[in-house]
Amino acid sequence: MKIAIQGIKGSFHHIVANEFFGEHIELAECMSFTEIPELLNNGEVDSAVMAIENSIAGAILPNYSLIDEFDLSIEGEVYIRVHHHLMALKGQSLDDIKEVWSHPMALLQCRKFFRNRPNIKLIEEKDTAEVAKRINENQLKGVAAIASKMAADLYDLDIIADDIQTISHNSTRFFVLKKGHDSPYHPSKVGSIKDKASIKFITKHDAGSLAEILDIFGKHEINLTKIQSLPIIDKPWNYAFFIDLVIDDFVLYKNALHLISKKVTELKVLGEYHQNNKTNVEDC
């Protein structure tokens, strides 16, 4: 299989792709999330991995928009506990480091570590692992990367500070995506039961319309695990809602969607998939 990821080998997206599909995959390395939907819809890759939220930094809102805009389907989710390591050329120490280059999210998640080190300049880059690779290829002294242990091993760098993330239990949730949507759900289609769904809807611009929808979920005993609003670009102060929910009873779930469809201007099922238990998060 060929899997699109944001970043290169050694990135957290690479780790997630291995976790979900196994290690015998081909990677399509993308320097930005916006490249991924085109590869899927053009048939250049079979699936893709895309970060969607972090326990520290919150939701990655532009990625919700990409999934919706390009009509992608969510086929799975993976939670990983992210360990950020500071790495540099062999023989370098923390005292030698003048600049740290990494992805903005990684810098954000490690800002407390650098608060008492004002002499170190933080520079935003497109990918954690790509910086590690560049340090090795160009033998850059005085420069460190924040990346995974896999990246340090792949690009022959020394880890000069372990686990520099501000919060030790720093987890990121990733969606596994594919082109288009499945035929109607049938439990026997897949090896694991699809017990979670992600949907998008746009409410009518009436007072209490969102409360009505939430009440439908409540009456059908459906547990909502996430509610995320997103502005509708061409309609100021109007919002689309993205909801994750657990499917305990598929009939109740379908009945709820049927009722909700009558109360909204748009309803889209983004994916029905097997939920990843975040209490057993993989350490990466």
**pLDDT in the model for residue 187:** 39
Does residue 6 carry a pLDDT above 50?
Answer: yes
Closest CA to 256 of 199, 192, 173: 199
Assigned token pair, 47: 């699936």
Report percent pLDDT > 70 for the chain: 93
Catalytic residue among 174, 175, 201, 242: 174
The most confident of 196-210, 225-239, 256-270, by mean pLDDT: 256-270
Q: Is the pLDDT of residue 26 over 90?
A: yes
Q: What does the pLDDT read at residue 284?
A: 52
CA distance 107 to 110: 5
DSSP string, the chain: -EEEEEB-TTSHHHHHHHHHH-S--EEEEESSTTHHHHHHHTTS-SEEEEEEEETTTEE-HHHHHHHHHTTEEEEEEEEEE---EEEESTT--GGG--EEEE-HHHHHHTHHHHHT-TTSEEEE-S-HHHHHHHHHHHT-TTEEEEE-HHHHHHTT-EEEES---SSSS-EEEEEEEEES-PSSP-GGGSSS---EEEEEEEE-SSTTHHHHHHHHHHHTTPPEEEEEEEE-TTSTT-EEEEEEEE-S-HHHHHHHHHHHHTTEEEEEEEEEEPPP-GGGPEE-
- Enumerate residues 6+ apart whose C-beta is below 8 A from 158: 87, 88, 89, 90, 91, 92, 152
pLDDT at 182: 53
Cβ(209)–Cβ(263) under 8 Å? yes
CB atoms within 10 A of CB 185: 15
* pLDDT attached to residue 204: 83
Is residue 22 scored above 50 in pLDDT? yes
Query: What pLDDT is stored for residue 184 in this prediction?
Result: 41
Model confidence at 235, in pLDDT bands (50, 70, 90)? confident
From the list 197, 171, 175, the residue with the least C-alpha distance to 67 is 175
Give me the pLDDT at residue 192, please. Answer: 54
Q: Which two tokens stand for residue 255?
A: 């009945």
Q: How confident is the model at residue 280 (pLDDT cuts 50, 70, 90)?
A: very low
For residue 36, name the pLDDT band (cuts at 50, 70, 90): very high
What is the β-pairing status of strands 99-102 and 121-124? parallel
Residue 46 in contact with residue 3, Cβ under 8 Å?
yes
pLDDT score at 189? 37
Average pLDDT of every residue of the chain? 91
Burial pattern 219-248, b for ≥16 Cβ within 10 A else e, equals ebebeeeeebebeeeeeeeeebbbbbbebe
34 catalytic, yes or no? no
Indicate if 186-278 has the same CATH topology as 85-161: no
Instruction: Say what the pLDDT of residue 17 is.
Output: 97
Report how far residue 74's alpha carbon sits from residue 176's, in angstroms, rounded to the nearest whole number.
Answer: 6
Dump pLDDT digits (tens) for 143-194.
999 999 999 999 999 999 999 999 888 899 999 999 976 544 433 334 457 8
What is the topology classification, in CATH, of domain 2-81+171-176? D-Maltodextrin-Binding Protein; domain 2 (3.40.190)
Class (C level, CATH) for 85-161 = alpha beta
Residue from 12, 20, 172, 217 carrying the catalytic annotation: 172
Instruction: Average the pLDDT over 40-69 and give the result.
Output: 94
Is residue 174 among the annotated active site residues?
A: yes
The pLDDT, as a whole number, for residue 53 is: 94
Quote the CA–CA distance of 192 and 202 in Å, as a whole number: 30
What's the token pair of residue 95? Answer: 């005292």
Please state which CATH class domain 186-278 belongs to. alpha beta
Domain coordinates in residue numbering, the chain: 2-81+171-176, 85-161, 186-278
What does the pLDDT read at residue 205?
77
Per-residue pLDDT tens over the stretch 91-130: 999 999 999 999 998 999 999 999 989 999 999 999 999 9
